[in-house]
Amino acid sequence: MSLKQRAAKELEIQKKLVGLPPRQIYPSTAFLAIITPILSILVALLIAALILFVSGRDAIFILSEIFRTSFIQNFAETVVKAIPLILAALGVALAFRARLWNIGAEGQFYGGVLASTGLALSFPNLPALVIIPLMVAGGLLGGALWGLLPGLLRAKLEVNEIISSLMLNYVALLLTDYLIFGPWKDPEGRNFPVTATFSDESRLPTLVEGTRIHFGLVFAIVAAGLVWLLVGRTKWGFELKVMGDNLKAARYAGINISRNIIIAFLLSGALAGLAGMSEVTGVAGRLQQNISPGYGYTAIIIAWLARLNPWAIIMVAILFGGLVSSGFTMQRVGVSSGLVTLLQGILLFCVLGGESLYRRLLYQAALRRSNLTKES
Which residues within the stretch 86-125 sit at the binding site for another protein (CB under 8 A)?
101, 103
Of 190 and 368, CB closest to another protein: 368
One residue of 38, 174, 208, 222 binding another protein per CB under 8 A:
174
Of 216 and 322, CB closest to another protein: 322
Q: Which stretch binds another protein (CB under 8 A): 65-73, 81-89, 265-273, 343-351?
A: 343-351
Angle between helices 216-233 and 310-333 (to 10 degrees): 140
Return d(Cα 170, Cα 193) in angstroms, integer: 18
Nearest-10 Cα torsion for 62, 64, 65, 66: 90
Among residue numbers 287 through 306, which ones bind another protein (CB under 8 A)? 297, 300-301, 304
One residue of 88, 95, 120, 149 binding another protein per CB under 8 A:
149
One residue of 80, 105, 145, 168 binding another protein per CB under 8 A:
168
Say how many residues touch another protein, by CB under 8 A.
Answer: 91
Of 205 and 225, CB closest to another protein: 225
One residue of 67, 123, 215, 236 binding another protein per CB under 8 A:
236
Is there binding between residue 373 and another protein (CB under 8 A)?
yes
Return d(Cα 330, Cα 61) in angstroms, integer: 11
**Mind spelling out the 3-state secondary structure of 248-287?**
HHHHHCCCCHHHHHHHHHHHHHHHHHHHHHHHHHHHHCCC
Map residue 214 onto helix, strand or coil: strand
Quote the least distance from Cβ 52 to another protein, whole Å.
9
Distances, alpha carbon 276 to alpha carbons 136, 209, 257, 272, 293, in Å: 10, 22, 28, 6, 12
Binding string to another protein for residues 25 to 64, with x set by CB under 8 A, is what? --------------------------x---x---------
Quote the least distance from Cβ 7 to another protein, whole Å.
6
314 contacts 225 by C-beta, under 8 angstroms: no
Which among 143, 86, 43, 34 is positioned nearest to 303, based on CA atoms? 86
One residue of 5, 34, 129, 182 binding another protein per CB under 8 A:
182
Residue by residue, DSSP assigns 131-148 as HHHHHHHHHHHHHHHHHH
Nearest-10 Cα torsion for 260, 261, 264, 270: -130
Distances, alpha carbon 297 to alpha carbons 166, 221, 270, 359, 361, in Å: 10, 20, 16, 25, 30
Return d(Cα 194, Cα 191) in angstroms, integer: 8
Q: Which stretch binds another protein (CB under 8 A): 219-227, 230-238, 265-273, 309-317?
A: 230-238
Among residue numbers 349 through 368, which ones bind another protein (CB under 8 A)? 349, 352-353, 355-357, 364, 366-368
Q: Which stretch binds another protein (CB under 8 A): 202-210, 228-236, 262-270, 271-279?
A: 228-236
Of 131 and 335, CB closest to another protein: 335
Of 164 and 278, CB closest to another protein: 164
104 contacts 169 by C-beta, under 8 angstroms: yes
Is there binding between residue 259 and another protein (CB under 8 A)?
no
Binding string to another protein for residues 57 to 76, with x set by CB under 8 A, is what? --------------------
